Amino acid sequence: MSNCGCVTSKGNNAVSPAVANTYGQNYRGNNNNRFTNHNHEFLASTNYEKDDDCNIHNHRIAGMTGPAIRNGVTHVHKIEEITDTFCDHIHKICDTTGPAIYISNNKHVHLIKGVTSCCDGHDHDYYFTTLIEDPTNVPNIGKC
């Protein structure tokens, strides 16, 4: 069967990047901390697909975005990550988040919707939001 750019957990082959994301257009005009250097954590699961051996499976995705990138009146983040392993194969995610979606107290999330790289004759869809908190911005509340 087709190997369409597979990456195995043994690191044999190169991966073609996933389709770029343009999802999420909900900027509310909040100017506070729009372009500060920050990151977001994310965790999600892909949809279920069959591989070349007809094994139905999905993958877990977890990681941290790159820093904020100005995009008009808002910002986006790049994501480059590899899924967990299933039957000795993995998929690559290379994408850009949608713009910031402000939810409360100047906190925001980003939507990500796309398709993983192809491996063992299949790819996976993913659709998730980043987490709210910035893991790189630890407040200095006091000394331990």
Reported as a single tens digit per residue, the pLDDT across 11-54 is 333 333 333 333 333 334 444 445 578 899 999 999 998 888 88
**134 domain residue, yes or no:** no
The alpha-carbon radius of gyration of the chain (Å, integer) is 17
Gap between the Cα atoms of 48 and 56, Å rounded: 6
- Could you tell me the two tokens for 114? 């796309």
> Based on the structure, what is the number of domains in the chain?
1
Exposure of 64 in the CB half-sphere (CA atoms within 13 A): 9
Residue 135 in domain:
no
Residue 69 lies in a domain: yes
Q: Is residue 136 part of a domain?
A: no
Distance CA 92, CA 112 (A): 14
Q: Is residue 111 part of a domain?
A: yes
- Residue 83 belongs to domain spanning: 7-129
CB 128 within 8 A of CB 46: no
The tens digit of pLDDT for each residue in 93-119 reads 999 999 999 998 888 999 999 999 998
